[in-house]
Amino acid sequence: MKLNEYARYDATGLASLVSAGEVTAVELARLAREAYDQINPRINAVIEFYEDAETVAGADSGLFNSVPFFRKDIGPSEAGRLQEKGSRLFKGYRPNTDSFFFRRARDAGLRTMGRTATPELASCTMTQSILNGITSNPWDVERSAGGSSGGAAAAVASGITPIAHGGDDGGSIRVPASWCGLVGLNPSRGRISGGPDQQDSSFGLSRNFVVCRTVRDMAAALDVFSGPHPGDPFIIVQPDRPYVEELSQPTGTLRVGVARTKWGAIDVEPEVLQAVESTATLLEEMGHFVSDMEVPYESEYSRIWLGLSSYSAKSLDDAALVMGRTINADSLEPINLKLYEYGRTSSSPAGNAHEALRRMRFRVGEAIQAFDILLTPTVPHLAIAHGGIYSTTHSTLSAEEFIEADGAVCQYTGVFNITGQPSVSLPLAQSTNGLPIGLQIVGRFGDEATLVRIARDLEEARPWSKRRPMVWAENSED
């Protein structure tokens, strides 16, 4: 198999080739390494390619038999492997915990071959850090790949691997998926276990899953990573059938709520709004009932994140104590240091954060209960240039100003981390200059099955598989 052939397949396709004996696990590992060597110097997506990548463990079967996989450098851990969270505070840190997430990955045949870049502490929508530098978008290297799963998204979009681990606190899977032209699902709260030590992380705001290129890979990944484990705070309703079987099921007629107005401080760019309008028309042509929806929340989102800063500060204090390090300008980036100081000195009681989360879930739930799915922009604008106010490395904003600015970028995504509903960004459009435009489809809580079916319909109606970014894995002689 040549490199451009490898890059053309999704994860399901590569696994089928291995199972049929047409390619081996070692060949796929070597092709991933070749793609990394060729591409990574231009985009800085992968910060570590394991020296033993060709021999990493993985079942010789499963839905993703021998497919190369990468771990975002924060969240679920592999015992003994570096996990530095994009931060000098955690430089050299090696957890001794094997997360359920990566146990399931190995059982499904995935071979985790390295770590992808994340902004420090996954705290912003741009992937750049003092520790690891800037991650570029394969569609335009002068622009951001998004955050905080920007390294994962850039690696998948450029052809280094067809699927990679991502995590989402407020849009951290969906934003980079939108800017890099990928499928990015944030599952329902409780769908993917955070065990054994991160169950219901960040009050349930944070979930882990993957970024990938096709809806069938998204469905297969749901089958691989879904399921409860002992110690989980609650057990979400389980699916009626495997998610890959939903790919052959009818969708039915849905009530679709469309967001045609801004939900935050940033206006929606005309090309993004045009993509929403076009997709709403397509859904109507498919036979669904489409109607406008009002903004479902006010300004609670940013206040909630500020309210949670005291918990983050305590967590950083504990980590610094264990590692024998001091929290200061030499260990944390400027904005994260401001957020830490804000949280450390906050007098807000713990109950305030819980109550703010409850109120927002209730208000949003009431506002959208009339719809089966929602259609929104994923991000109000196209991928932005590196630097600026959204970076934690050199932003001059205060903690409050930074949270407000970041919340404006995530105005359509963060709300559903709070409500716990599943939502997926699909690469359904492109700008006039060829940049991806992701649109978000939101489902009812626990109903990933409907998202799989409607995402399949949209992928068939507006296929994106043949689009190629500027930076793409190619044979050396091509």
Residues assigned a catalytic role: 72, 148, 172
Distance of CA 278 to the CA centre of its chain: 25
Strand order in the sheet with 46-49: 46-49, 111-116, 68-72
Distance of CA 326 to the CA centre of its chain: 30
Neighbours of 157 (CB within 10 A): 29
User: Could you give the residue ranges of the DSSP H alpha helices within 262-398?
Assistant: 270-285, 300-307, 309-323, 334-345, 350-368
Neighbours of 142 (CB within 10 A): 10
Give the angle 153-154-158 at the CA atoms, nearest 5°: 120
Give CA–CA dist 391/410, Å, rounded.
14
Asked if 74 and 122 touch (Cβ cutoff 8 Å), the reply is yes
Structural tokens at position 459: 């992928």
Give CA–CA dist 433/469, Å, rounded.
12
Angle, in degrees to the nearest 10, between helices 350-368 and 300-307: 150
Give the angle 139-45-193 at the CA atoms, nearest 5°: 110
Query: In a 10 Å sphere around its CB, with 0-12 CB exposed, 13-18 middle and 19+ buried, how is residue 55 labelled?
Result: exposed
Give CA–CA dist 351/189, Å, rounded.
21
Give CA–CA dist 453/460, Å, rounded.
11
* Closest C-alpha among 78, 80, 82 to residue 47: 82
Residue type, 304: I
The H helix count followed by the E strand count for the chain is 16, 15
Asked if 384 and 411 touch (Cβ cutoff 8 Å), the reply is no
Give CA–CA dist 221/192, Å, rounded.
11
87 conformational bin, left if phi > 0, alpha if psi -120 to 50, beta if neither: beta
Residue type, 124: C
